[in-house]
C-alpha cells in the first residue's frame, strides 16, 4: 500500500477504504491525528475514499441490473471489468449460466480459457460461451442445494444473490387481486422518515410511493408501495403494494412476472421492517 507525505515525518495512506497514518519510524498509529486528517494530504485521501465508495455503489447497481433485467450479458464485458477489484468482488462467486453450459459459481475470467466456474460437483470448469445469464434466485432450480454448496465451499458473494430474500405468489391468491396487503399499517412518525427508509435501502420514491422497476420478459414492470400521507412532516401509514406495466396501467397480481413480484415484495418487506414498533408497557397483555 502506497503512502503520501503529510509533514512532520508522518505519512498517510489507505487501508480497507479508511485513512491510516504512520509515524517517522514507520509504525502504524491506532488513529489519525486531527491536524493530519484535516491537512491537504488528508483532504486528498478523503476525496479518494468518497470516489471509491461511489464507484462501489455504481458497480453493485450495475451488476444487480444484470440480475434484474434477465437478459444475456456479453462475456467480453466480464473480461473487460474483471481486472477492476471492485467489479471482481461484486461478481466473484455469483451463480451464472454461460450460454451452452450449466450453472456454476463464477471464479475467474481469462482471455484464453474463458469463464471459470465451480460446478455442482465442486469441480472447476472453463467455458468460452459468448454470453451469460446472471439469474435472479427466484429462477434458480435447486436454490437450497446451491446455498448449501456455497456454504460447504466457504463462498461469499459481494452481491446478494443466493441468500437474497425471495417471494413467490401465494397459492390462495384471488384471480382478480390487484394488490398485496401484507405490509399495510406500518407507521412512521413522518412521511419523510418513510421516504428516507426507502432511499436508504436503495429504492426510488415518488410522492407517497416507493418504487422498484424490473425489466423482465422484454417488458418493464414497476412495483409501487404506498407509504401513506401527503405532507412529508405528518405521520404516514403504509398501505397496499401494487404493480403497473410499462404503460403505467395497473396489473393483476397473477399477471406480474416472478422477478418483479419477488422484488416488489422484498422492497415492501424491507421498508415495513423500518416502521415504528410500539413498545408494550409492563402489565400489558401478551
> Residues 245-261: pLDDT tens digits?
999 999 999 999 999 99
Task: Give tens-digit pLDDT for 34-70.
Answer: 889 888 888 989 999 899 999 999 999 999 999 998 7
SS3 34: helix
pTM score over 0.85: no
Q: Is 153 helix (H, G, I), strand (E, B) or coil?
A: helix
What does the pLDDT look like over 129-148, one tens digit per residue? 899 999 999 999 889 999 99
CB 104 within 8 A of CB 117: yes
pLDDT computed for residue 183 by the predictor: 97
Residue 42: C-alpha distances to residues 26, 38, 52, 72 (Å): 18, 6, 15, 43
How far is residue 86 from each of residues 52, 63, 68, 90, 194, measured CA to CA in Å? 9, 11, 20, 6, 31
C-alpha–C-alpha distance, residues 254 and 110, integer Å: 43
Q: Which of 25, 51, 26, 47 is nearest to 37 (CA)?
A: 47
For residue range 208-238, list pLDDT tens digits in order: 899 999 999 889 999 999 998 778 899 999 9
Longest dimension (CA), the chain: 74
| pLDDT at residue 106 tops 80 | yes
Higher pLDDT, 264 or 18: 264
- CA torsion, ordered 39, 44, 48, 49, to nearest 10 deg: 10
Amino acid at each position: 500500500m502506497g503512502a503520501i507525505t503529510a509533514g512532520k515525518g508522518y505519512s498517510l495512506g489507505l487501508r480497507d477504504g479508511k485513512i491510516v497514518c504512520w509515524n517517522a519510524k514507520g509504525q502504524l498509529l491506532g488513529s489519525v491525528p486531527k491536524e493530519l486528517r484535516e491537512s491537504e494530504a488528508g483532504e486528498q485521501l478523503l476525496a479518494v475514499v468518497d470516489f471509491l465508495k461511489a464507484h462501489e455503489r455504481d458497480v453493485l447497481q450495475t451488476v444487480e441490473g444484470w440480475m434484474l433485467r434477465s437478459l444475456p450479458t456479453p462475456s467480453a464485458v466480464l473480461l473487460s471489468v474483471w481486472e477492476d477489484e471492485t467489479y471482481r468482488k461484486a461478481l466473484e462467486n455469483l451463480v451464472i449460466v454461460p450460454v451452452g453450459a450449466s450453472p456454476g459459481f463464477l471464479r475467474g475470467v481469462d482471455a484464453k480459457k474463458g469463464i471459470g466456474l465451480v460446478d455442482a460437483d465442486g469441480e472447476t470448469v472453463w467455458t468460452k460461451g459468448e454470453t451469460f445469464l446472471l439469474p435472479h434466485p427466484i429462477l434458480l432450480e435447486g436454490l437450497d442445494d446451491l446455498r448449501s454448496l456455497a456454504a460447504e465451499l466457504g463462498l461469499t458473494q459481494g452481491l446478494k444473490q443466493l441468500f437474497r430474500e425471495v417471494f413467490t405468489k401465494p397459492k390462495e391468491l384471488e384471480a382478480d387481486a390487484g394488490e398485496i396487503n401484507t405490509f399495510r399499517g406500518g407507521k412512521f412518525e413522518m412521511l419523510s422518515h418513510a421516504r428516507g427508509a426507502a432511499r436508504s435501502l436503495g429504492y426510488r420514491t415518488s410522492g407517497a410511493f416507493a418504487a422498484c422497476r424490473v425489466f423482465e420478459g422484454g417488458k418493464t414492470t414497476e412495483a409501487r408501495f404506498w407509504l401513506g400521507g401527503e405532507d412529508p412532516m405528518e405521520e404516514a401509514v403504509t398501505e397496499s403494494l401494487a404493480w403497473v406495466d410499462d404503460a403505467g396501467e395497473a396489473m393483476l397480481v397473477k399477471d406480474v412476472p416472478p422477478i418483479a413480484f419477488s422484488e416488489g415484495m422484498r422492497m415492501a418487506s424491507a421498508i415495513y421492517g423500518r416502521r415504528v414498533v410500539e413498545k408494550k408497557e409492563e402489565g400489558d397483555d401478551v
